[in-house]
Each structure stands twice: as C-alpha cells, then as structure tokens.
Structure 1
C-alpha cells in the first residue's frame, strides 16, 4: 500500500427533480411526459420550492426553509418527533387572462442528462428518459405575442415578445392564493405565509437598427388585474421585449427543497450512484398557506448517476409513493443495472406486474427495486414484509442506524438482503433456518429474491426474544454471511464466543448455507456494554472481517496490531468457520468520543491484498491522520490498515464539520475506491469541474469518491487532450497505474492495443467505453481493470440560410442541432431566433464541444424613404438623400443617384427599389419669407440704453442713418427703422423709443406721543407712464417695509432720515427722502401698598400711592366706591377677596394702572367640652360644642358613639346639645366618642374633628 491516494473526486449535489441543482445558476425545466397533472407542461425547481408551467398560468409552491432545518435537527434527536414537525408552505397561481389556450410550450436547449419518475403504483404515470431544458418557449401565447421562460443568476424569469404592430395591452394576469400583493417602488410585492417575493420592476427594450434601446415600462393594477404600461410609448413598428423577474425578498432555501444523503455505490465503469431522501413538492391541491408533516408523507427516494469524474449528471430518478420512502443500500450489477433496497410507508409504492407483493403489509415494508441499465425502466419492484413494521431497525445506537441493512447480488443476479422485521408473518420459506418469529420486539431477516422480484428464492428469520437486526452481508464459497446486533442470546453459537456477552447489545456473525436453511458457523462478539457489528467482508482466503462499535472500549486488542486503546470502534478478523480470532483491534481517539463514539461506521472493505479499508461519519476531533491526509479535520474519517492490521498506512478526515449521513450504507469497490454519500450543510469540498460546486442553503446530499490506490496491480487510464471531442477525435491515452502487461480495448469494432500508452483516432461519433487491463502475475491481485468513457461528438451542421430580403413580417432563424448550446449575436441562447428587423445575424453552436457558426444578412420591410418635410427657404441650396444604401433610385429628372442637389425652388420626388420592395417620397421646395426682430414701440427708463437687433444673420441691413450692421445702439428718443435682405427675401421694420421717470413722494403724521404709538407714512408718488408696482421704505432705524402706505413704531425719540424708493412695472425707479422728528413722552408707572397686611372684618384699610410720573389718581375699591385722593382709606364689608384698582395719568396724558387683591378672613374659634354631669341639677346637664367665629352653621353635623360603635346622639343644629340619654333613658357613666363636621365661613373648606367625652354623676 503506497501512502498516498489518487483521483479524489467529490461533489455537493441535490439529486432529484424538485431537488436537483446544477453546475451553474441555470434552472432546469423538466417536461411533463405524464408524470404530473395534464395541465402542466414543464416543472422547474426554484429557490425554496417549485414552479409548474401551464398553458395559461404559473403555479408556485414554497416551503419554509427554517422548517426544513428544524426537521433535520429534531430528526437527529428523535426520529419519531421529526415526523411531527409542522412544515409550513404556500401555493399561489399567476393566471394569465385571455391567453391563447392553443399556445404551444416548446423546450429549448435540451440538457444532456435525463430524468426518470416512478411515483405511485400506476405504471401509466411512470415516465423514463424524460428530457430537460434550459428554457421553455411559448409560441403565440397571446395573438402576436410569444413568451420565453428561462432563468438568470438562479432566478425564475420570463420575457414577453411583442411582434411589431401588436398591442401589449393583451397581457394581463391576476394572482390567486396570495395573502396580499401591492405595488411598491415599482415592484410587485407578493406577500405569502412563508415570505415575501418581488416581481421586480419590468425592463423593456427594442432592437432598433442593431442598438438595444430601453423602453420605459411599469406595472399597472386595475381591479386586481396586473398589466404593463409604457408612459413614454415605444416604436410600434419594431419588436418589443418585456422582461420581468421573480425573486425572494425574505425567503432563503436550496433549489427545490432539502435532501438528506443516505447511501452510495458504483458500477464497473467507476460511475457514481447516490441515494437520498428528497422532500418533494407535489402539485398543490389547494392554493394559499398550508401545513404538512413529513411523518404523513412527502419524502421520496432520489437517485442519481454521475460520470466517474463527477463532472456530468447522466440521469436522475425519483422513486416513491405518497408517504415516506427511504433508501438503505444500493448495488449495481455487472450489466450496469442499479438495485435499491429501502423501506416505505407508502401504500402506492411502485411495484411491477407479478411482484412478490404489490400491497403494503404494515406500517412500513421493505422495498426492493431493480432498474434497467439506463435507469429509465424498472425490471422488478416489490414490497417485502408482513403485517407489522419491516426494515426499520429499532435496535439502534447512532443517528441513522434505523436505515441500515445491505443488499448484494449473487452470480445469477439473485438479490440477497439482510434486514429486520417486527412481523410474525414475514414471508419466510419452508425449510428455512428459522421459520417462526422469535417472539421478541424485532428479528433479523435474511432473504433472496429472483432478479425480477417476482419470487422469493429463500427467506429466514434470525432472532429470539429481544431485538435482532441484520446489518452486513457477504457471499463466499457457497456460504452467506450476515452480521448484526442483538440484545439477547438467540442462537447457540459455535465460534469464538458461544454465549451472549451481556450488556445492552452484542454483535454477531452467522454463516448460512446458500439456501438459508442452515447455519454452519456462528459467534457472538461483545462484552459488558453495547457492541454491534455493522459490516463484514471476506478476504481471498475465506477469512471473515467485521467492523463495528463497542461502548466500553473493552474488546480485545491483539499483540502486534495497530490500535487506539479505549476506543469505541473495532475491527476483528476470524477464520472461515468463526472458531478462531486472527486479530482484534480498536480504532479511534482513545477517549471515547463526545457521544460515546469517535465516528459511526458507514463503509468497509478488504481488498485482494488484504488491506483493510474503513470509513465513518460524524467524526470527532483527535483522530490520527497520516502525513498525506487530505484534511486534518472534518465530518468524515477514512483509513486503511495494512494486512493483519499491523499499521495504519493512511488516514484522513474529509468534508466540513457535522458531515454525516441520515442512514444507509456506502461502499468501497475492490480497487480501494470509496463511494461515500453525505448529508452536509457546510464545508464540503468539491473538485474542479464537479457537476455542482455551488453550496446551497440548508442540508443537501453530497457524494465523494476517493481512490486509495490499492496495493498490487492498478489500472488507471487517462486521456489527452480530453475525454470528449469532435469526430475525427484523436486521443493520446495515459497509463498511470502499475503492471507489466497492458491490454487496451477501444470499444470500436474490436480495435485493441498492447502498447503502454497508445494513441487512437475515433472516426465516428459515439460513446466509447475504453477498457484498460493491467496484468502483473507477481502481485496479490494479478489483474486490474479500468474503464474510461470517451465521447466523440459529430460536428453540428449549422445553416441559417441565404441572405434574405422580405418586405413585411419576420424571419425565424433555426440553428438546428437540438440539445446543443447556442450563442446568438445578442447573447441569447435559444435554438431559434426571430429576426424582426434588418441586420446581420449570427449564431455559434456548441454540440458536445464541437463548435460551428453561421451568419446571414436579413433585410425586412419596404425601404423607408424620407426626404423630409416640405421646405420654405430664402436660399434653395441643399442635398436630398433617399437612404437605403445599395438600392436603385429614380429621381424626377431621371437621375439615379442616392442623393440629389437642389439649387432652385420646385417639386422633387424619388422612387427607391430595395430587392423588389419599393417606396417613394416627394418634397416641395418653395420661396420663404423673413421677419425682423425689432421690439414693439418702447418706453425706456431715463438713463438706460437699448440695442436693436434686426436678426437674420448673413443678411444685408440698411438703418435710418444708412448704417449697415445687424444691430443699432439707441441712446435718445426717436423713430428707428431697418431694411433687411436675405437671398430672395426682404423685410422692413420700425420702432419708436421714448424715455421717462416716476416721482417718489410721501407725507407723515403722528410723530409725537406716548410709548408704543405708531407713525403713519402715506405714499404720494406719481408717474407719467406705466404704473408703480413696488415700494421700499427705509425708516432710518434699520427697519424697512414694502407696503405702499406704511405704519412704523419707533423705539426712541430722535431725528430719522426716512427714504421711499418706488419702482414701475417696466423697472424704472425714483427715490425721495426727508427728515422726521419723533418725540416719545415718558410713561407713568402705577404702584401702591396698603395696611394692615392681614386685615379682619371691619378693619379700615389705608392705601399709599407709590407711583412715578403721575399727576392724577382714580381708585376703585372692588366696585363699592371710588376715590381721586392720592392716599385714600376704605373699609370693606364682610369677608372675602376684594379687588383694588389704581388708574394714574401723567401731565402729557400718558396712562397706567395696577390691580391688587385683598383677603379679609374671620378666624375660626370653637370649644368642645370633654365631660358633663347630667344628674338633674341646674349645672352642666347638657353637652354642647361652642362656636364663636369663622363657623358656617348651615353645614353642621354632630355624631356621638358608644364604645360598641352605636350612634347614641346625632344633630345638625349647633345650638342643640346632648342631654346624656339614649332611647329615652339616661346612659351609664362612661366614655363616648364624638365626631363633628362643619363648614368654614371664609371658603368652601369642610372640617372634621373628633374626640372623647365622659359622663360623670
């Protein structure tokens, strides 16, 4: 074993139809061949869902990508719980109103891969070899309007192609099923329950004379119907292209929906096969928001076949029914026929005529499907199971163990499967090793079907009273070996471990005869914890190898082997009859791993030289890697042990963190090449040229192929310059393997070679499977075979036809060669091109790498002849051009040039003939006239200047003073005239010019007064001409006004220079200024005080004047009386708040006033006794509160309570007291509580007081 590996090939893909991605961002349009509803013509997977193309509509479905991720994460924790995760989706339709129901949808640019659909148990709905295209073209979608549906940068797009003269107003659509839609910022905002989508603002354009001209275009909404509008119009004589695009604004997701990788295998040519589950989106039964769970259905098996270098998807297949379907294990026969073992809960899983079972027996059954070599047909397919659950392992350690088991083929093509069942009526055969159910939770089963899946060759249980599962399977020397796991002692072992080892599980190996009727050797493998044997293989000596997990790290380690003690993965070798252990070892980190394992076994093989290959997923950190490792961290761990496990010759990580599978098995081929499926969401490395290297969001199925270069003879073939080319194609073959004899078979009518690296020419188109056989009799594997596919393509024949001239219509150019790729002169990529305008058109066609181009010149339409509008001119000297280069011409004088020189007035015409299409035009050349540009009679402002301009440059001029310039400078009033001559035209003009100025003047009043008075300014301006339209006042104190008559308030006395500037309607101005004296008298200030400050009723109030600049006084005492004294006195009646107002006046008559408020209050005085003696004498017989002032008797309330809270006395009259009786009787001596409520005579305030009184006798 050389310590390196070769030909690492890996790819991250989404393998099915709803679930298929591409190696570019180009979407794939798959045609309907009966697998979908009849109204669907094509289906395309888009980000987050699917679009169904119909005759008159698009039907969209989307799922929430967040729900997919939640489902996957829950599935890792609890697979049953994952089935109940609610998946939110939404469906809506874009329905085109009035479109042609006879419109034809044609696939364009056929892709090289094909698709197969085996959905449900109705063979009439199956479809194989279904074509896929890069675009779809609707012919005559509306009258005169075609529609092209395609993708750009991964987004779904469609173009409306409007022919010349056809109205785009036909195009209308409505949305059905949306939560809401609106027009925002030019875009259509489509609101759904799983996110917002945008129909981006439409882009429209026309090809005019070879130039792409943008046309203003926008959406219009009327009564819920959407159409296009063109605010600036467009050229209706040319084709119009309208180009909207649909994108997601707040929704993420993979193309289609997510895929979980399960299994992988290979064929003899090294092609790669993957198996996954795909969350398919079927045609919606209702529109709007919906919910589902994938426990109730929705997962199907998606299979794909890629070329050996993973650069080409050969085909993809969709297999399943209306519930859950899972692939467990796959194998390809020597004839290239794929066999798939899985489980299903679908009652309509596809089965073939005469199948062993065509009905679902229990909750889930095992399924076996045998495809033909193209994958486009089913040779046999059947259910296998009883009335309970079959195929799903309940004894599982790791995530994904539920979907283990293995399928292999015998030499006759019979199908042998190791699995499990919970059914007591599983179809076992008479004479089987175990014909009855073991009685526990689950039994392992081992059975053999014929190649067409119509008959059971033999079948047996293998189980006891607990759980048993069958994991690994091999046939060798007339025996069938099965390994698995059990949690009880269900057989009497004969081998190295004869009894169940204890704990929660043991591995086991059973050796059956080739009819399943007897076990000739058997052993348990396990100790105190949980131990499972997942895989087994057999070397050339018949020795048996097993690969599995152990929970305690206690399984034996043989002397001299490579080992990582205390690890949870084991590899052991036993002799043919399982009676002796050749070696046993542990592989891992030696630390037990974070989850009780270091990695989960997923593929295993022992090659002809006894090198041991193993791989695992969900790898932890800290595992040993070799110096030539591809990665030192990752989700997958792969290694090779030397014969006898004496050393680890190679080990590497691969993929991103968290890389795993969701069940199923992968395989090594006998040459040491691993074919590994993966379920991954990041960090998955791909190789150059891989069919898909763009990583989508969410989880996806990935596959990698890694060649470990098995020791011994290796056949490895290569080709230079490439593996595909055009016929005749010469290939220089490379030989990078090992051996001493080589045989090449070129798959071309028996042509062979024994050269080390031959050169061979393939003259005819075709696909050739070139075989290299390397031979070395001195090695452990004497011969090795390698296949290399050489594709030889025929050069395409491209003929766009001869150069063409037509008078009307369009020319449809067809590049032929269906399925090729095309590039036209405008970078469009359809097979056909509709030439709607004259020009040079070319196309380049690439058919399998063979490129051919063609060019054609198209002239469309009658020539357009335009001599221009009729002309009036004073100088008849010009050249007329009839255009249309290369045509023939006939002018009015029988001349035949394209142009004609005009030298005199007259009628001129031309007739143009362009390839038989004719047109003509006529133009009248007549004598014109000129006009001068002097202004009307003009009134000028005094002092301004005027320049008169007679216009008509190039003419001759004569002014009133005999000057001859085009212009004349006016400096004084007068009459001015000019005579203008231009060619054969003449004109004169006169203008009168006068000057004037307005008179500015104003008057002023109110210049003297108290502070805050206004001075009035009155405009008295006049003008002899025009009118005054603007006034500007400057009041001399930095303030201005634009009123005609102004009012202004000055802040201080003084002399102010006031200026008025007036402006007339024609802009003339005049200014008048004068001095204005302003006198402001000093203002008086009213103020007073009074005594006493806290008066009581009846007090005389004395008022003292404190004012300044006052000569007279007027007092107002709350309206009761007035006084003109400077310091008066006054007595107010009663109590309350009283207003006193003082008005003063200065000697100049300026006034001021002040108002004050006085509060006169009566003091509240009262007395409440605390005891009395109602003993009948004349003293102190009545208890009564006494109020002397400040008391409002009308608001009085007295309550007296005994010690039990009873009211013994109550009064509303303050003059009535208590006589010590209650109920007519004197009360006993005691203490009583009183409460009094009363009003305040000074205000509305209410008082509450309380206390105690004592009766004494």
Structure 2
C-alpha cells in the first residue's frame, strides 16, 4: 500500500510481518515488525440429524454437532430449526416439530478467538400428516354363516402406505382391499391401521361393524284369553327389532308393547322380527277376546206404596260371580249381593242398575231396568157435614177421599170406617148417627187394589141438652156503685163444659148492643151509666148448646 493509513483484508490464516517505509522526498526510513499480524484459521461448522428425518407431528429429531475447530476451540453453538422456534445453544440438541412442513436447519459455531462459521441444510426435516383412514364393507348384516365381506380401502396419505386389518374374530391381513369370511354368528369390530413411509400411523376402529344374527320370529303374550277393554302384554322373544300387527287395526314397533282390544272375537297377531332387513322373519298367532257378559235382573214389584214395603231384585244374568248394584233412592243404595232386598223411605221414581263380573273376570256394561221403581204413598181424607149443634141424636154425613198412584186404584171394597163408638162402615160415603154423648175418634182406612193402605183420623164431640138457669141479687142503686155477681143456675153442672154470657144495653135505642161478656161460669160485671140490661146465657156440653 502507498497510503499513509491502509486497511488490509487477510484471506488466509497465518502470521504476517508488516514493513513501513516513509520518505520526505530526499530521504527514507524503514520500520519492520516481524510476526505483527496473526490470522487464525476458521472453524468448519457441520452437523447430522439422527434418522429418521421424516415423520408425523409431533415429530422429535436429535441433532449432533460434527463441526471441526480451526485455530481455537469451539465455545458457542447456535441452532436454527427453521420453524421460528427459539434457538438452541447446546452442542448436541433435539427439537420437536408440531406442524407439518419441510424445514431448513442451520448451525453457527464460534471458537475461543471469536471466529464463526455456519452451515445450512435446506429441507432437511420433513413433517407430514398421518394417513386418513376410510373403509367400507359391501354388507354388514347377515342372517347365517359362513358370510363373506368385501372391504374397500379408501385411505389417503403420502406416497407409500402399508396396511394391517383386524376383523374382530382373531383374523388379520395386510392386504389393501381384503375379503374376509366369518364362520360364527356374532357382532364383530373391524380395525384398520395405515402406516406411511415416514412411519406415520393411523388406526380406525369400526365398532359393531359386522352383525351376523340368525333371526327367528318368536313371541308370547298374556293373558291368552281376555275381556274387551282388558290390557294384553306382548313380549318379543326374538331378541331383534320388531313390528307388531294386532289384528284389529292396531300396531306397534315397541319390543314389548301392550294393547287393548275393545271388541270380542278372534284376532290374528302378526309378529315381524328384524323388519326391513334381509333377515326379516314373520310369525302369527291368534288371541281370543271373550264376549262381555250381559247383566239382567227382575224386580219383585215396580210399585211401592209405603216405606216398609220391600222390593227384591233377582239377578238373571248368566255365569255371573260378582255383582255391583246401584239402587237409586233405596236403602241400601248399593249392594254386592246377588239378590238384594231394598226398601224406599221416600216417594219418587227411581232407577236401578246392575254391573256383573263373570267367571272369566269380564265386566259387563251396566244394565238399567227399563221400568223404574215408583214409590207413591196413598193418602186418605175425611170430610163430614153435620148440624152446628152437636146434640144427640146427632146424624153426620161422612165423605171419604184420597190420593194414590195411577198404577193403582181403590175399589168399592177398599173403604173402612170406624166411628169411635163401635160403629163401622165399608162405604166411601156414609151417614152415621151418634145416640150417646161422647168425644169420638173417627178413623178411615183405604186399601188399594195392590194392597197398599192409608189411614186418617178425625175427632167429633156429641153432647146432650142441659138446662140453663141464671141467678143474681140486685137491690137497686146507682151506676158504678157496685159489681153484680151472676150465678149459673144450670143443670147438670157436672157435664156442662161451655159458658157464654152476653149483656146487652137498651139505653136510648131500640137496638141492642153489647156492654159486657164472659166465659166464666159465675162472672162479676160492672155496669156504667143508666141502662136496662138484657142477659143472654148459653151453656154447652160436648158442642151441644142451650140458650
């Protein structure tokens, strides 16, 4: 160099002597520095990955440093794995790749003098997806053995793939698209494992892939003979899917259904095992639905005329073993007897119904008697007409009347009178004469043509004439001075039971008006003012009166 301050690039290692010659144009001077510059040899970076260098994520690779040192010992290493992960500074290292791709790996080494060297291997590590397994069988359901299945392998992946099939019966194969024959009934899981050239491996397990089940339609039901409206229980004994036809339009796809028949008759039950499959099998059976029993009864009478009269209901049903009576208005109102006896405390029209159970347990519909029980109590009435004054001999006209149901009647012989003195009559309308004083009870009993009776009573008083008499003492005087005591001077005093005094005034008038009254036997009367008094005195015995 001929410049004052040169810069020199040494390209080869070695020890170098530097000479400087300076001149001012007339004279020169030289300085030599022997071994002044030392240039060290660079290290040689190199490495090797431990095979395999291709695989599936997560893929771990071991890297070994094989660098050669220059003039100094290598003291630093820096690894770049090509996936943007942090550098490694270990001499020998490993790295796990999580994503697929082709990765470039670099190593830089530095020795004790600071001399550096690096090396890079392009696409050194290959990380690929494992195979994606898909397969299919041409048939998965069989009804008998031996059964052969053709398997189609639809697996996708990179380059070369090897296969391992497991058929679930202890057999396996490495064929890509195998055919396998099953020799025993059962349900089998099929497994396929695929491995690519990088050792990436996938497995697909198809659970219950192959089903070989010999199907035999078989079922039972109970009870085998039932009544309309009763539940029947059906049981699938084929151990498969199934469908049912009950013969009355009803159906089910349940394994163990129930069904109710509402009509009597014989019905064909159709049972289909594994319906809609190649293994479908069908069987039929017949169930008998019995006729409902028919309730019927008779009544000893449909007309009740008093509350002690009973009605007996007689069951006329066939094959009945249990009875349930509903007796409207009756006592009792319900009964489980076969032939109950009932009374009716109240009038009205009442229905009776019967429900029976036969020896097979079938329950009838309720039967109601077309003719209701009519409860109508007859009544009797007494009407009589006689003189106002009940004095012997006392002649009375009696008239009998009453009410009864239109189902009944009272004929001419249905009337019976007693008059309280031993006298009787059997006419509806009759005259009777009382010749002896007394208080008499009249009784009329009517008897209808059906034997029902009604009784009514009345009373009558019949007396005899007595002799009325009046006794009083008055010496004269002024009004308001004294009270006057009036005495009954009548006979027979032991029989008289009625006294009626009336005192009439004649003052300043030609007509009478009452100034005092009394119902005592011996009254005391005060008179006020000047007057002339007329006394009326009535006595009576048992409604027979004298004045």
The TM-score range, normalised by the shorter chain, is: 0.3 to 0.5
After TM superposition, the score normalised by the length of structure 1 is 0.17
Question: TM-score, length-normalised on structure 2?
Answer: 0.34
